[in-house]
Structure 1
Amino acid sequence: MDEPCQFRAESGLPENPQPLPPAYDIETAKVPLTNSGNGSLPTKDDLPTDNPRTIVTTMSNSIFGNYRLLDLLDLKTTSGNIDITSSPDAADKDGPDQAAEFVASTMSGDIANTVSLAAVPSREYITRVSSSSGTISGAYLMGSTTDFRTSSGRMNLVLSPVAYGTYPPSLVTYSASGSQDIEIRASQNKTALQTLTLRSDSLSGSVTVRCSADFEGTIEARSSAGRTFVYGPGVTVATNFPQRGGMNFAGRYVKATKGSGAGKIFINTASGDVRVIFA
């Protein structure tokens, strides 16, 4: 029998609550949620549709389904996978400045997300995704705070920059031994590509960033023992040399500019290759 999950949707109990089935944790479950017993939860028919804050926590189950991203969507599992579709929605009229925060984490499972881009409301977006040994993949919004971390897993990300007010798009990624493959798409608001900041660090994995040619700003790419490439239309390389450290190790450091915008890309890896490609 599957272990029970904890589920919170913080809008309060209904006026006439129905008896909770055995799989509920009555201390945390405030809206109906069923665990079908097939090792995954919940199905799209089980999900609340109008709750600003949704929290799902489980130990070994996987989490699947379609979710609306309102004020908070927080998904956590210890050893299961997370594979969902998230649909960003407008802020509540009582809190128009409330950020939309998406959090997903697992210890040993994989995480995959598909974000619906049919209509992305204008608001601040925060994304935090982490897995110790699993792969992180899929499509995500790149808002004011976008953070991806893994120890030994790989990253394969497609990001859509979203600028809101004075909050430019910002991305931080870290991996200890896994490779990173990051695609940054064009935005309807070109200012987003002219102000975004990106920092990617890796100890032993390669890092590849494919970015829309609308980006403008500075690029720094560094590898202690690997190769470093920065290229694309409009790129001017200012510095390109083998770096030398206290241990007389060889590597490559490239500093380049593209256009006159305020964007910043910084990539650093110890032993992997670095590629930054604009197209």
Structure 2
Amino acid sequence: MPRQTIQQQIDAFTSERRLSIAHPLQRYLGSGCCASLPRHAKLHWRGLLQPKSGAVNGRWMVDERLLPTVPPSGRKSEFEPHDEAILCHCKPLDDTHEKIGSENRYPDIPDRWDIYLLMRHQYNAIAFTGKKIAAVIRRTPATHRTILNLRDWETDPAGGRYRRTRVKSQLRRRLGRIPYPHEIERAHAKTALIHLGFKLPGKPKERHGSWPGLLKNLGFEVEITKGIGPTPHVAMSTKMISAYRERYPDREGYV
């Protein structure tokens, strides 16, 4: 059997767990760049930006979980091939009530889980828009070695397999319950990125200054647009308010 090329190895690894976006998604005004992606003070927005057509489709969510997944055959025809679309995640802009260590505390820093998904799934780029900056993070040929290092670590019984089991048990002790799958995945992603060399400093100022360089060291291409203006506030529906209060029962009067 002929030896697989690096690209074939990457394709095999990223297609093991295909990441699809469920429908229906809300359609927004066409956009030529990530600087005009939808943003909200209190909600996450996840979706797809299709650069060729400018189409933007997504959904507001209370929490940081991915949009529900569907089989690849369930994709609607208006979506471009997954390797051309850009996966988007805009975190809540109001971080005043977020606990220390929360990914939502820093809207101008990409989510570590998103970085992991960029290596683990079939999308070649992710984008986000924060308070002051917008950014697109792309895979390049220089990223291939990092992705294969992740693959080797995850399949190593003394590496990724052991760490995932340990993460699950640590979360169960800390939470006092069985953790949800997305909580395990998020904790595992953080551990994997630390193994690969993406370890964010503890101080906010240092975090904001270091994350682009850390990603470039892993082979990613980072495009940053600075000076993003304020976004028009998007009104929350009754259902959104109910879900928000359920998530934050101690913040009566905030919504």
TM-score > 0.5, shorter chain as reference? no
Could you state the TM-score of these two structures normalised by the residue count of structure 2? 0.28
Name the structure, 1 or 2, with higher relative contact order (CA <8 Å, separation 6+): 2
**Which structure has the larger Rg?**
1
Could you state the TM-score of these two structures normalised by the residue count of structure 1? 0.26
Greater per-residue helix proportion: 2
